[in-house]
Amino acid sequence: MVSANDFRNGLTVEIEGNVYQVIEFQHVKPGKGAAFVRTKLKNIKSGGVTERTFRPTEKFENAHIDRNEMQYLYKDDMYHFMNTENFEQIDMTDDQVGDSMKFVKENEMVKMLSHAGEVFAIEPPITVELEVTETEPGVKGDTATGATKPAIVETGAQVLVPLFVNTGDVIVIDTRTGEYSKRV
């Protein structure tokens, strides 16, 4: 059990049957009246953010989030993942996966986040190296600084890249932002 007085950023708690992560918290002690804790909470499963206030003595159940490393095998009508320690496989639909797999190639490792055995999110690696399969050739002298052009990488995702990147180049992409980092 954790009290509202012990809230800190990143803490996950169970409130009214839902699992929330504390994004922001502030202890408020007004001149008159009792102190309270003002929080901004993110619902882990739906992604919605709410603001709530609590008395410092209110207690909540600590929610344990499991992070399991799994290997992405392949995609047909579903996404298929395997635990490399016990070879257990998990299948997930497009709706469950969302956009988290658009930069992940087959056989890459991802982290599955679950609560009470239910997977609610997939964390891809922070950076991935992908080959550019399609892009327009850049013309020298087109711009003064920092121009970009669209490129399609081997997973089928579209990324904005600098003009000097060509088809066949291997680039590094930051999966948190979906942006080009560097050319390998």
pLDDT tens series, the chain, 184 aa: 888 888 988 888 988 888 898 889 999 898 888 899 999 998 887 778 899 999 989 999 988 888 889 999 998 989 999 988 899 898 888 888 888 888 999 999 999 888 887 888 888 999 999 999 999 887 666 555 678 889 999 999 999 998 888 899 999 999 888 899 888 8
DSSP 3-state assignment of 131? strand
Sheet holding 127-135, edge to edge: 158-162, 148-153, 127-135, 170-174, 179-183
Q: Which CATH code fits 127-183?
A: 2.40.50.140
Class of domain 2-62: mainly beta
Topology of domain 66-123, per CATH?
A: OB fold (Dihydrolipoamide Acetyltransferase, E2P) (2.40.50)
Q: What pLDDT score was predicted for residue 141?
A: 63
- Domain ranges within the chain, ordered by starting residue: 2-62, 66-123, 127-183
What digits encode the pLDDT tens for the residues 70-100?
Answer: 999 998 989 999 988 899 898 888 888 888 8
Tokens 């009508």, residue located: 77
- Listed residue (24, 23, 20) closest to 43, CA to CA: 20
Is-same-fold flag (66-123; 127-183)? yes
What is the three-class DSSP state of 85? coil
pTM above 0.85, yes or no: no
* 92, 112 Cβ separation under 8 angstroms: no
